[in-house]
A and B are shown apart, each in its own frame.
Chain A
Amino acid sequence: MSEEYKIPEGLYYTEQHEWAKKLKNGKVVVGVTDYAQKQLHEIVYVELPEVEREAEQTRAIGAVESVKAVSDMNAPVSGTVVEVNEDLLDSPELINEDPYGEGWIAKIDPSDLEGDVIRLMDAEAYRKFVAEQAH
């Protein structure tokens, strides 16, 4: 079933279906995966984290809501939130349309990226994880 979900190479993934991508400037951009947005369907509201707040890996920093359901947005890595995607306030559906691009949620200045990524999955591992979830 995992062929149905886009899982780009080069990103890190969590078991709660968030993704993280290292940027050239050392910051990490985060969002929810294609699998997550397809499970939620029709996203109508995003609660963005506050800029400058501390993020702790696996802890909620915001939320993504569809008509029927609420899903926490957990921080894939620890650090400080330095930027949020304010376009999502008016257009939460960007997460449905482009979860790894225009639907990004926040940028984090990581405090221990090397330590954190050990606990994250690469694309191949996440692909297997999603395939198991689908059963």
Chain B
Amino acid sequence: MDLIKTHLYAYHAEHGNIVDFGGYALPVWFDGIIPEHNAVRNGVGIFDTSHMGRAMAEGPDTERFLNHVITNDLSRLGLNEGLYTVMCEPDGGIIDDLILYKQQQGKFFIVYNAATKHKDFAWLTKNSKGYKVKLKDLSDEMAMIAVQGPDAEKTVKKICKEDLSKVARFNIALVTLSGLKGMVTRTGYTGEDGFELYVPDCPVSKPDKALKVWGDLLKAGAVPCGLGARDSLRLEAGLNLSGQDIDEKTNPLEANLRWVVKFKKEGGFIGREALIKARDEGVRKTQVGIALDRGIPRHGYEVVDGGKTIGVVTSGGMAPTLGYGIALGYVPPRYSELGTPVKIRIRNRLFEGKIVKSHPFYDETVYGWKREKK
């Protein structure tokens, strides 16, 4: 099967090491995962994230409809503010995590994951019946580029006329990018400060606008980064990968996402009853971070205590910023206290580890968007 190309494929084909990423032809690295990872932690990197899902929801019932589908509460949002949330099945299982931005009264921009985008759009469409709302999938006619790192604002400033310092975290703004009409949100998937740039009216078949913005960001000093660094950065930040760390078999209470579930919001939401039951009965597994002294934990490895398998690693890898192996995984709640010793089975040998803070794994005064400014 032919791989799906994004707007920036021409650049990737020339400069990147392209892999099949869920059916998309995307670069796993350009220069190397570690230098790209470090560029984002210490400077600025750019990522093609055009494979992600983007949609617009518009109409008088939009807010009421969306609030019924998600677990978080949209009614708290002001204009141009965004909200991280999940949407669940009636049984509380997570369909996907997503961000919604209130652009106008009754108009929301929605960004969700690549692997789940068709399922998400179908779920939204199905549940919109009876509401006055129009959903439009923009994924293929709008390019998306993430600019991430402590120097992100400086870098985007060079191609953007508007004052980006006024765009607060998780906010959205209509801006001019490389002289073209576009949008930015102050978001990302790396733990660092940064922006996600959207280039509308840019179909994959005519990607000139996206290539122009990408090229101008490179000229502004940004390091092109592949999906390898995107994964190692998000793991260090303790951010879930949908379909791997969270899925239909996991509810948000188990995934440490209690904070995005607003049981008391008006009108209820899909999955509420199941989640109330889960809350009252207590969860049987809970997401934790694990650090190893030696060895690299990987997706699917067993978490072991006293010779018994107690859980599983959902994401793992070497943390380039920290220099040791880290993992996100699920264990029974009694193991979740920080410092609890656990072992991970790697190629049939047990490696010593312990439960650590995972959101993020690194020291927030040194790395990430909250870091103390130099």
A-to-B contact residues, CB < 8 Å: 41-42, 44-45, 47, 60, 63, 65-68, 70, 72
Which residues from A are CB-within-8-Å of B325? Answer: 45
> What are the nearest 8 A-B pairs in CB distance?
A67-B33, A44-B318, A45-B296, A42-B32, A65-B296, A42-B34, A68-B228, A67-B318
Interface residues of B in 91-112 (CB under 8 A from A): none
A contact residues around B37 at 8 Å (CB): 67
Residue B271 lies at the interface, judged by CB distance under 8 Å to chain A = no
Given A41-B29, A41-B33, CB of A67 within 8 Å of CB of B228: yes
Candidates A41, A47, A63, A65; contact of B318 at CB < 8 Å: A65
Are the CB atoms of B295 and A67 closer together than 8 Å?
no
Closest B residue to A96 using CB positions: B32
Q: Please name all residues of chain B whose beta carbon is closer than 8 Å to the beta carbon of A44 when the two chains form the complex.
A: 34, 296, 318, 320
Tell me, yes or no, whether B117 is within 8 Å of chain A by CB: no
User: Given the complex of chains A and B, what is the CA–CA distance between A65 and B296 in angstroms?
Assistant: 8
Q: Across the interface, which residues of A come within 8 angstroms of B346, CB to CB?
A: 47
Set B28, B295, B347: member contacting A68, Cβ < 8 A: B28
- Taking CB atoms, residues of chain B closer than 8 Å to A42 are 32-34
CB distance from B254 to the nearest CB of A (A): 27
Contact for A47 among B231, B232, B298, B347, CB less than 8 A: B347
Give the shortest distance, in Å, between B104 (CB) and chain A (any CB). Answer: 42
- Contact between A45 and B347 (Cβ–Cβ < 8 Å)? no
- Which residues in A have their C-beta under 8 angstroms from that of B295? 45, 47
Answer whether residue B317 sits at the interface, using C-beta atoms and an 8 A cutoff.
yes
What's the Cα separation between A70 and B32 when bound, in Å? 16
Contacts of B317 in A (CB 8 A): 67-68
Min CB distance, A87 to chain B, in Å? 16
Chain A residues lying within 8 Å of B28, measured Cβ to Cβ, are: 68
A67 close to B232 (CB less than 8 A): yes
- Where chain A touches its partner, the secondary structure class is strand
Q: Specify the chain B residue showing the minimal Cβ separation from A60.
A: B347
Q: Tell me the residues in window 27-68 of chain B with beta carbons closer than 8 Å to chain A beta carbons.
A: 28-29, 32-34, 37
Interface set, chain B 314-363, CB cutoff 8 A to A: 317-318, 320, 325, 346-347
With A41-B29, A42-B33 as given contacts, are A70 and B298 in contact (CB-CB < 8 Å)?
yes
Bound-state CA distance A45–B298 (Å) is 13
| CA A68 to CA B228, docked complex, whole Å | 7
Q: B271 → chain A, closest Cβ, in Å?
A: 34
Tell me the nearest residue of chain B to A69, going by C-beta.
B298
0/1 per residue, B233-247, Cβ < 8 Å to A? Answer: 000000000000000
Shortest distance from the beta carbon of B224 to any chain A beta carbon, whole Å? 16
B33, A68: Cβ atoms closer than 8 Å: yes
Contact: B32 with A45, CB < 8 Å? no
| Pairs A–B under 8 Å by Cβ, sample size 26 | A41-B17, A41-B33, A42-B32, A42-B33, A42-B34, A44-B318, A45-B296, A45-B318, A45-B325, A47-B295, A47-B346, A47-B347, A63-B347, A67-B33, A67-B34, A67-B37, A67-B232, A67-B317, A67-B318, A67-B320, A68-B28, A68-B33, A68-B317, A70-B296, A70-B298, A72-B347
- Cβ-closest chain A residue relative to B19: A68
Chain B residues with Cβ under 8 A from A47's Cβ? 295, 346-347
Contacts of A45 in B (CB 8 A): 295-296, 318, 325
**B32 neighbours in A (Cβ, 8 Å):** 41-42
A82 to chain B, nearest CB (A): 21
CB proximity to A under 8 Å, residues B263-304: 295-296, 298
**Bound-state Cα–Cα, A44 to B32, Å:** 12
**Once bound together, how far apart are the Cα atoms of A41 and B29, in whole Å?**
10
- Closest Cβ of chain A: how far from B345's Cβ, in Å? 13
Which residues of A have CB within 8 Å of B232?
Answer: 67
Q: Which residues of B contact A63 (CB under 8 A)?
A: 347
Q: Please name all residues of chain B whose beta carbon is closer than 8 Å to the beta carbon of A66 when the two chains form the complex.
A: 33
Closest to A45 in B: B296
How far does the alpha carbon of A68 sit from the alpha carbon of B296 in the complex, in Å?
A: 10
The answer for the CA separation of A63 and B346 in the assembled complex, in Å, is 10
